[in-house]
């Protein structure tokens, strides 16, 4: 069986979402970790979990957007606290690396770091795993915050970064998840070779579109099969074993 460790299910059209869910069993996909973008997204994912037990919701605020006013942030945290038993993790949260690049260094990072610190503190208090959007130099900042709050159940989705931060993440027991771009991106292939498979999962980050063999295709969980095959090849492992350990990693990490 396979679990999609990171998907924006609420960002699909209703028709696409229904078609994807109807086909999950055909590709042995057991569950989806549906991450949230904001409070509205949290509410949608919450409703999905009530309709389909295969969907597991994470509640949070995606960092690649403007930070709302404090009143809205407090409202999100109050809602998350009220519905903590309904979420499998805190997420997606993190730091706005790509927004920073677009701003050419003019983005004020302090409010984003402060907000992330609050999310990590919340994860520690509720004993929930945390799903992180943190790449390159941002990952060092995130590791500092995770260590500050003694949060070990951290999942860096679609991670990219240098060997120094990668080694730190491995030492701390943090997990990463691999997307279908591992079929054509050398950077991701190098990451797969270096990172322990015991701390690895697979994801789609759908509906994000991929290139290479997936050009002009709708992103959906069935694509993870190809990612698993690539991981097996790069790790010199059997596809059966690779599928099993990635599945067990995700089950263990998210307590599904």
Can you give the pLDDT at residue 105?
82
Can you give the pLDDT at residue 100?
95
In three state form, how does the secondary structure of 117-135 look?
HHHHHHHHHHCCCEEEECC
* Dist. CA 197–CA 242, nearest whole Å: 8
Q: Extract the tokens encoding 69.
A: 């006013």
By three-state DSSP, how is residue 35 classified?
coil
By three-state DSSP, how is residue 83 classified?
coil
Can you give the pLDDT at residue 26?
97
How many other C-beta atoms can be found within 10 angstroms of the C-beta atom of residue 187? Answer: 10
Cβ-contact 1, 26 below 8 angstroms? no
* Sign, CA torsion 57/198/185/160: positive
Category of 129 on φ-ψ map: left (φ > 0), alpha (ψ -120 to 50) or beta: beta
- The CATH number linked to 79 is 3.20.20.140
Cβ-contact 49, 87 below 8 angstroms? no
The distance of Cα 138 from the centroid of its chain, to the nearest Å, equals: 15
Can you give the pLDDT at residue 54?
98
Give me the average pLDDT of each 10-residue run along the chain (256 residues).
98 98 97 98 98 98 97 98 98 97 93 98 98 97 98 97 97 98 98 98 98 97 98 98 98 96
Burial of 41 (0-12, 13-18, 19+ CB in 10 A): buried
Indicate the DSSP class of residue 66: P
The domain tally of the chain equals 1
Which pTM value belongs to this model?
A: 0.97
Cβ-contact 245, 198 below 8 angstroms? yes
What is the domain range of residue 26? Answer: 2-254
The distance of Cα 192 from the centroid of its chain, to the nearest Å, equals: 16
* Alpha carbon distance, N-terminus to C-terminus of the chain: 13
């Amino acid at each position: 069986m396979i679990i999609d460790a990171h998907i924006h299910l609420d960002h699909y059209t209703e028709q696409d979402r229904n078609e994807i869910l109807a086909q999950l069993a055909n590709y042995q996909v057991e569950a989806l970790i549906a991450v949230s973008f904001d409070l509205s997204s949290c509410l949608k994912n919450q409703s999905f979990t009530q309709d389909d037990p295969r969907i597991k919701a994470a509640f949070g605020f995606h960092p690649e957007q403007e930070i709302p006013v404090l009143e809205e942030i407090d409202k999100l945290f109050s809602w998350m606290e009220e519905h903590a038993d309904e979420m499998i993790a805190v997420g997606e949260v993190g730091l706005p690396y790509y927004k920073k690049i677009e701003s050419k260094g003019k983005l004020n990072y302090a409010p984003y770091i402060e907000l992330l610190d609050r999310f990590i503190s919340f994860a520690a208090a509720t004993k929930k795993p945390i799903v992180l959007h943190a790449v390159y130099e941002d990952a060092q900042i995130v590791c500092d915050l995770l260590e500050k709050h003694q949060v070990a159940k951290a999942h860096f989705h679609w991670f990219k970064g240098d060997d120094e931060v990668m080694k730190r993440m491995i030492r701390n027991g943090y997990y990463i998840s691999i997307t279908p771009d591992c079929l054509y991106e050398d950077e991701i292939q190098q990451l797969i070779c270096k990172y322990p498979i015991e701390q690895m999962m697979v994801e789609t980050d759908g509906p994000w579109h991929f290139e290479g063999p997936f050009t002009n295709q709708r992103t959906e969980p069935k694509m993870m099969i190809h990612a698993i095959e690539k991981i097996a090849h790069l790790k010199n492992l059997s596809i059966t074993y690779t599928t099993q350990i990635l599945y067990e990693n995700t089950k263990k990490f998210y307590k599904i």
